[in-house]
Amino acid sequence: MSPCRRNSLSIFVALLLVTLLSACSPRQMVIGGMADELAAQGQASEGDLDLAREASAFYLKLSESVLRSDPGHRRLAESVAAGFTQYTYAFVAFEADRIEARDAKAAERLRQRAAQLYRRAHRHALAALEKELPRFAGRSDAPQGRLANRGRPRIPPCLLGSGGLGRWISLARDDPEVVADLPQAVRLARLAWEADPEWGQGALTGLLATFEASRPGGSQAQALVWFDRAIAQSGGRSVGPLVGKAEGYAQPAGDRALFESLLKQALAIRDGEDSPQALQNEVMRRRAAWLLEQAPDLF
């Protein structure tokens, strides 16, 4: 049975159990079990990007519905935040970039939708972060040790809160209230990175590199250091850091040779069977292929 069919069957069984047990079990216990199952499904690997797109909307809407009944479920809030961020980046924001040359108005509508979806992702990420560290997310003076002492399981909410907020800001540059939250996004990413610089095989380092390359007053030299470190940390298994360096460093520097070299390296990466990075890598490979096609117009 394929991973997708197994995942669908698991959700179906969970829904069936809800129906059968609701008459004799406390409602909150049933909802909690459903939340656990949905959170686990959100972590399942899926290498077929088109299939993932078709399944994502149902999963996200169902998960949000369960979260409304169990708002304190941290793992499901994390899963939904990650799901909305990935869905928006892969299928909404990228589509806006892809069609902009031929339909600028449609691209702008997609970007407006993407901004709202990123906002939604950020709200769920902050809910997860607040569950882990009460009153932490909104404080600019929060002690770094509180995160570092908690270890790896506490990093995802910070990463998701930072990543979703950063992408939201990138699409809402005309909204000063949103842009004013950029320091919070950078702070969350930095705190998570300081707690575990190796987390996610370079995911945190790559996020810091992207922030440094794009923020006002950022250092391109420091961004380059972080991009290279993220690529090294990935061990040749992650497409994201290569595409990030191409867009965040080589393109602004006007270095077309480096830009194309990085994207070709990205396209050459192949995933092992059941790789947890398969979906993310496929998203970034599609972007890498599109950027290569656009190179004549970008330089």
Residue 44's pLDDT band, with cuts at 50, 70 and 90, is low
- Asked whether the predicted pLDDT for residue 141 surpasses 60, the reply is no
Contact 205, 123 (CB under 8 A): no
Burial class for 85, CB neighbours closer than 10 Å (0-12, 13-18, 19+): buried
Residue 238 is part of a domain; what is its CATH number? 1.25.40.920
By percentage, how much of the chain surpasses pLDDT 70? 73
Give pTM, 2 decimals. Answer: 0.77
- What confidence score (pLDDT) does residue 20 get? 47
> CA-to-CA distance for 107 and 82, rounded, in angstroms?
23
Per the structure, the count of domains in the chain is: 1
Residue 101 lies in a domain: no
Tell whether the model's pLDDT for residue 41 goes beyond 50. Answer: yes
Range of the domain at 244: 200-299
The answer to whether residue 139 sits within a structural domain is no
More confident residue, 16 or 219: 219
> Tens digits of per-residue pLDDT, 210-262?
889 888 888 999 999 999 999 999 999 999 999 999 999 999 999 999 999 99
Q: Answer whether residue 120 is part of any domain.
A: no
Instruction: Say if 129 falls within a structural domain.
Output: no
The predicted-structure confidence for 183-213, as pLDDT tens digits, reads as follows 777 877 887 788 788 877 888 899 889 889 8
Domain-embedded: residue 225? yes
Mean pLDDT lowest among 49-53, 126-130, 137-141, 204-208? 137-141
Per the prediction, the chain carries an average pLDDT of 79
Would you say 234 and 202 are in contact if contact means Cβ atoms under 8 Å apart? yes
